[in-house]
Each structure stands twice: as C-alpha cells, then as structure tokens.
Amino acid sequence: MSGLNASLGYFLAVGILAASVRTLLQKWPKFSFLLEFASSFMLVACWLEVQTIVEVGQWAGGLGPDVTLTMLFALLLTHGVICSNALGNPNLTLQKFLQLDTPTIPTLLAIAAQFAGAHLAILVALYYWSLELTDMHMIKNLMSRECSTSLLVSVHQGFFTETVCALVFHLIYLNLRHRSALIRVPLVAALLTFFGYTSAYINPSLSYGLTFHCPGFSFLQYAAVYWLGPFIGMILALLLYMGHIPRIFAKNLLYFQKTRFKVRKGDKAEKKNWFLTKSFIKEECFEPNLKGREGVCPPNRGW
C-alpha cells in the first residue's frame, strides 16, 4: 500500500499544479496556449506513473490490472475535468485548425506547448523515480534507461492500428463535442482508457513522452506509427463526418447539401395562383379585345 499511497500523492501534486496554471491563466487569455502545456504535462506525467504500476507494480507492490485500469480511468476523468478547455492532443488541435475554429499562430503555439509539456513531464518523472520512495520506484529507476517499448508489433501493424483507432476516436469525439460535459468527459475517458490499455495512444505528444525514448525502434519508425498514423486517422474521420476539410477546400465531396427550409405544398399552390392572376390582369388591361373595347382594369396596384 505504500507504493499506492506514493503514487496517489504524485497524482494529486500534478493535478494541483495543472489546476493552478488554469486558474492563473484565466486572468491572461493571451497566454491561453499555456493551458495546453499544463494539460499535456499532467497527462504524460500521470500516465508515466500508471505505466510504472503496469510494468512492476504487480510483483513489487501487489497492484494488479484492475487497480491500473481504475487509476487510468480516474486519471483521464480528472484530466478532462481540470483541463476541460485544453485538449492536450496535437491531433485535436490540428482538427480544430482544419475546421477553421482556430487561426494559424495559436495552433502552432498550442502544439509546441503540448510537446514541451510532455518533455517536462519526462524530466519530472525521472526525478520522482530517482527519489526511490518505494521498492516499485527503486526498480523503475534501475529500469529507466532500458525501458520496454509500447510498440510490440511491426511498424506496419502499429501504423494500421493507430490509424484505425484514431479514426474511431475522432468520429466519436466529433459527435460528442457539442454534448454536455457530463456526457462527453466520461465517455471520452472510457474510450481513451480502452485504447490506452492496448497501447494505442492516438496522441502524438503522449506517445512522445511514453515510448519514443525507449530502444527497439528508430525515431522515424516511432513517428510513422504514433504521429503519421493518428494524423491520417483524424483526416479520414473529418472527411467522413463533414464530407470535406474546410481549411483546404470548401466543396463537399461526399454529401449533397440540402436546404434547411422546405416550402409547403399549399404555399406553392398559392404562389402559382398569384402569378397566374397577375398575368391575366396584365393581359386584360394592356391588350385591347377583338371588339376594340378596353378591358375593365382594377385600380393600379403597382404592376
């Protein structure tokens, strides 16, 4: 239990730090991109500790898979509540950019802040493990230089898996984005828990913090799987959801756009009768009849 208590204290400290940054930045909206820094830092720092519990917690601290799944879901749920306005995912930031929701400069700043937050989380986690507060952290500190990669399949299989998982996630996220936070946050947390437990991160900054520093594959191979795969999945999801990518082209390639408002049949009949009456009155007023008499016209009504 001492290992679990130390981990809970670590989660609490990281969560308080992220919440403090969010509170401070409410007074300076120009620096809102720093919210992405805090969001990515919290996500990566806490997930690294969960990863430690998965790797060595079962035989060093007696913590089984049920504990790690519960902690991961609680972490993602807390992250969604604390960092509700910050995405913490470069692909979601790019998605908003492609939907014309954010301009170019804030998008670039947000992505840079997300990767900076992930890198700082690695340094903080390494320092925390070096303190060796429990047996679990002592073993993790010894293993930190020889960590095990999360990519347990070939590059092609990993790329396909990340693409499909990203496609499913972004389609669900696009359908939930306008729902209440009470519905959206738990569902997204549950979905990410399932994907995360299968090592499908669908988050470039998260994967950078968790597995890019581990041996087994080159940087380009990791980038192809964990950066390019989720990006392609996000693009496909956006095309399927909207039919086009607004930032690139406005024409809808997949769906026909229909007008929202429909004219009732009664309105159409009234309009047709009005035009027929108008044309008949014009004929009678301005064209003489066969006997040379002028037609009887109603008063001038602006025709």
Instruction: Divide the 303 residues of the chain into consecutive groups of 10 and give the mean pLDDT of each group.
Output: 79 92 80 89 93 77 76 91 86 93 92 95 92 84 77 91 94 90 90 84 92 88 94 94 86 66 51 52 48 49 45
Residue in the block written with tokens 């979601």: 92
Do the beta carbons of residue 162 and residue 204 sit within 8 Å? no
- Give pLDDT, residue 261: 46
- Give pLDDT, residue 29: 72
Structure tokens at 224: 């192809």
- Give pLDDT, residue 110: 93
Q: How many CA atoms lie within 13 A of 69 on its CB side?
A: 9
Neighbours of 104 (CB within 10 A): 9
Q: How many CA atoms lie within 13 A of 216 on its CB side?
A: 16
Q: Where are the domains of the chain?
A: 2-242, 262-303
Rounded Cα distance between 259 and 113, Å, is 41
Do the beta carbons of residue 17 and residue 128 sit within 8 Å? no
Rounded Cα distance between 245 and 240, Å, is 10
Do the beta carbons of residue 66 and residue 57 sit within 8 Å? no
- Give pLDDT, residue 255: 73
Hey, which CATH number is domain 2-242, 1.10.540.10, 3.20.20.70, 1.20.1080.10, 1.20.140.10? 1.20.1080.10
Structure tokens at 197: 């437990």
